Amino acid sequence: MTALNRRRLLQGSAAAGGVLAASPRTTRAQNKPDKLVYVGENQGGWKKTLVEEVGPAFEKATGIKIEFTLLAVDAWRARLKAELGAGSTGIDIAQWSVGMAGYMAPHLPDHEPLVAKIVARDPSFDWADFLGGSKQAASYDGKLIGIPYRITTGIMHYQKALLEKAGIAKAPETFAEFEKAVLAVNAPPDRYGFGLMGRQGPGSYSSFASWLFSAGGRMVDFKTGEIFINDEKAVTALQFYVDLVLKHKVVPPEASTWEFDEIIAGGQKDRYAMTQTFAPYGTLINDPKLSKTGGLWAWSTVPGHTAKAQSRTWVDGHFLSVPKYSKNADWALEFIRMACGKEWQLRAAERGNAPPRGSVLRDPAMVAKLGWPPVAAEAIETGIPTPAHPAFDALDLSLRTGLSEALLGQKPPKAALDDVARDWQRSLRRAGVIK
């Protein structure tokens, strides 16, 4: 850690203790518990600062231990559904992701008043510093139900020198410019122009969604049940996406088996010159200690269909909330205030988190060290959150199948999306969205 950031961290820790000590009587009116129970998931190392540093610092400042219960994804979701569904008081801090908002919302209070409490106690918390897309992703049916801790988004990663060698001075701004660039840097079999997550699985949506949204496409209106996934704009996006694989052959053949780990490894092994994927993956792809291509990458927001202004990407992430049933709500809120504060978020960014704060993503030290954060900040501001309706889990499974069939050449994009739309109608009818 740099001396500057170490000093900031110490100042932040001192501030945390000071604010807690001076908390208003509403906090002290609650009996001080021995512990707070935090339930979250254990995938990825981005929670290291939260668990290894913020938790112990909170305990030192308050005498309250944070009991972290971190579970595999299915077990984590099942635990939250079961306990909150039963009105259990056993969870004080709930970590959830965008796709869980639909079934979490009934068990979470409006967090706008809770944010107001935090700001009253700690004006430096600066709610305006949280990016607009992160607040949108933390909301359901117009109600803020959590405070953003981690926000991921899709951006373009590219090897700048390869584009420049091909006579391309800047990152592509439109689909046409992207196609020209990716063909220019395509050099099979050693290196291909573009990498994508082609395996039929959880990575399918994030690999395709930026192309869909940037082409002006939509998926579904959960209020009316209207389906857009097979309209002209969506078909245009999928045709462009599929052509990269089948027509232009600018994608490594093995990408049909790629998901999250593989898209990172592909960049590290110089298997592609460009990709659209998770912004934080830039840290691993560009690390000279880990990557054959370390130090060669640059970043930009994704291309728009015919103009850069049309650029839109997906937004996902994790949020911290105080359930309605917690008997330690004020203390839980204090922990969230600390964890989501600027100084701890800056430290978390250094240890693999993707913070929702503009000041952290644009911090000069972060920009110099990682490169991608300010691009992520720009993308998050206009990003479109992953659908949070409970029915989307079923829709996503159908979408994965349709995308895979198109990428493998088993069905033309229009036919594949028509089949997805028919499956969606059945799923939405079963869910009561379509009568």
Per DSSP, the residues of 60-96 read HHHS-EEEEEEE-HHHHHHHHHHHHHTT-S--SEEEE
Enter the tokens of residue 178: 């992207």
- Residue 417 has a pLDDT of 98
Rounded Cα–Cα distance for residues 374 and 359 (Å): 9
- Residue 5 has a pLDDT of 46
Provide the CA 54 distance to its chain's centre, in angstroms: 21
- Residue 41 has a pLDDT of 92
Q: Strand pairing partners for 316?
A: 152
* pTM (predicted TM-score): 0.85
Q: Strand pairing partners for 195?
A: 275
312 neighbors 214 (Cβ within 8 angstroms) = yes
Q: Rounded to the nearest 5°, which phi and psi values hold at 88?
A: -65, 145
What dihedral angle (degrees, nearest 10) is formed by the CA atoms of 357, 102, 109, 144?
Answer: 30
Q: Strand pairing partners for 36?
A: 66
Distances (CA, A) of 265 to 25, 73, 261, 283: 52, 23, 6, 12
Tokens 């880990």, residue located: 290
Distances (CA, A) of 419 to 136, 276, 401: 30, 26, 10
Q: Other CB atoms closer than 10 Å to residue 197's CB: what's the count?
A: 27
Provide the CA 22 distance to its chain's centre, in angstroms: 34
Q: Which CATH number describes the domain made up of 154-314+387-430?
A: 3.40.190.10
- Residue 185 has a pLDDT of 98
Rounded Cα–Cα distance for residues 433 and 435 (Å): 6
Annotated domain spans of the chain:
3-152+316-385, 154-314+387-430
Rounded Cα–Cα distance for residues 392 and 77 (Å): 15
- Residue 27 has a pLDDT of 44
pLDDT tens for the 435 residues of the chain, in order: 444 444 444 444 444 444 443 343 344 456 899 999 999 998 777 889 999 999 999 999 999 999 999 998 889 999 999 999 999 999 999 999 998 999 999 999 999 999 999 999 999 999 999 999 899 999 999 999 999 999 999 999 999 999 999 999 999 999 999 999 999 999 999 999 999 999 999 899 999 999 999 999 999 999 999 999 999 999 999 999 999 999 999 999 999 999 999 999 999 999 999 999 999 899 999 999 999 999 999 999 999 999 999 999 999 999 999 999 999 999 999 999 999 999 999 999 888 889 999 999 999 999 999 999 999 999 998 899 999 998 998 999 999 999 999 999 999 999 999 999 999 999 999 999 998
Domain 3-152+316-385 identical in fold to domain 154-314+387-430: yes
Enter the tokens of residue 359: 């000041």
Q: Strand pairing partners for 227?
A: 220
- Residue 350 has a pLDDT of 84
- Residue 30 has a pLDDT of 65
Full 3-state SS string of 319-370: EEECCCCCCCHHHHHHHHHHHCCHHHHHHHHHCCCCCCEHHHHCCHHHHHHH
| Architecture in CATH for domain 3-152+316-385 | 3-Layer(aba) Sandwich (3.40)
- Residue 73 has a pLDDT of 83
Helix (H) or strand (E) holding 105: none
Encoded amino acid at 377, one letter: A
Enter the tokens of residue 294: 């370390």
Q: Rounded to the nearest 5°, which phi and psi values hold at 319?
A: -135, 155
102 neighbors 389 (Cβ within 8 angstroms) = yes
- Residue 29 has a pLDDT of 53
- Residue 42 has a pLDDT of 87
Rounded Cα–Cα distance for residues 434 and 416 (Å): 22
Q: Rounded to the nearest 5°, which phi and psi values hold at 390?
A: -55, -25
